[in-house]
Amino acid sequence: MRAPVFYGRYRGPSARDLQTFHQRRAGHALAEAGNSGQKVGQAVRIVTRTVLPLIAILVIFTITIAAAVLAPRLVPRHVRLADDPDRPRAFGHDMAWLAIRSDDSSAVAAALGLGRLQPANWSSGIGAIYDPEISSGLVFISPPVKGWTLVAAESLPVPAGGAFVDKMMPLLRHLASTFPAVQYFAAFPIIDTYAWARFERGRRVRAFAVGDGGVIWNAGKPSQDERRLGLSYIEIRGIRERHGDLGGELQLYPTDQHVFAVAGGWSINPMAVELLSATSGVGWVADAPRAWRPERIRKVA
């Protein structure tokens, strides 16, 4: 039997062994770091090749959409208007208009203080004031029809009360000092606003307007055309004082059809203007004055 070999007591690793161990460990760490760096580099290259192009595409797409939406609002619009004479075209829904006794549409435009007049026939003029993108800044002045010049625009001032300045009545008084007969009509069902007013020889004969807050104008006696339609203030006041089954206050409001009927009785119903035996003509499209914009009453401290 072979005898066991005795090597003596264990005295730990030598200095050389420790140095070799640490060198190997450092080498492994560097190798692992190198592998990690390679992996990071590969990930960066993947992101650069795939994600960044997608981000660039999204940025370009966003800029394109923003330009398509905002650019038309920042650049002044140039409306192409036809100036070949044509016959009258109907209008009136969601619109305000003036009927002025005059055969000179240029004089009417001058009295209104309109700028940048462009010749426009009925079709293009009515189309412009009903265009949802540009109508708020344009006015159509028609060629004369049966001795009347019609001025139509969404931007015409509407009768105002409460906290807003009433800009329509002063404008009517100004026009009435220049022309023998001036009439105003408004039919805006979306804001529950209906109005008609009439000046003869500089004097206000009748003015009535109602909004969502109630009666705004009520001056002069109701005309025969109003009474024929059952639209007298006495009836409106009487209905306001009656209550329904639920106890709520009742109020009679006109409709746009009532406004058209009153206009037809006083001068011209714009919804029936195509039926008139009027000659072909060319009117004007102009920019609406800034002074027509709604304005709140300034409170004095």
- The helix/strand/coil state of 9 is coil
Give kind and range of the element (H or E) at residue 138.
Answer: strand 138-141
> Among 173, 259, 154, 175, which residue's Cα sits nearest to residue 209?
259
> Among 65, 69, 63, which residue's Cα sits nearest to residue 133?
69
The token duo for 154 is 């969404």
CA-CA distance, 141 to 110, in Å (whole number)? Answer: 11
Q: Please give the pLDDT value at position 270.
A: 97
Q: Please give the pLDDT value at position 122.
A: 97
Higher model confidence: residue 74 or residue 122?
122
User: What is the mean predicted confidence (pLDDT) over 34-49?
Assistant: 60
User: What is the mean predicted confidence (pLDDT) over 93-101?
Assistant: 97
The token duo for 139 is 């006015």
pTM of the model: 0.70
Q: What is the DSSP string of 145-196?
A: BTTEEEEEETTS-----TTB---HHHHHHHHHTTSSEEEEEEEEGGGTEEEE
CA-CA distance, 123 to 97, in Å (whole number)? Answer: 17
Q: What is the 3-state secondary structure (H, E, C) of 243-292?
A: ECCCCCECCCCCCHHHHHHHHHHHCCCHHHHHHCCCCCEEEEEEECCHHH
Q: Please give the pLDDT value at position 42.
A: 66
Per-residue pLDDT tens digits for 62-96 = 777 765 555 444 444 555 789 999 999 999 999 99
Per-residue pLDDT tens digits for 183-240 = 999 999 999 999 999 999 999 999 999 988 889 999 999 999 998 887 654 444 444 4
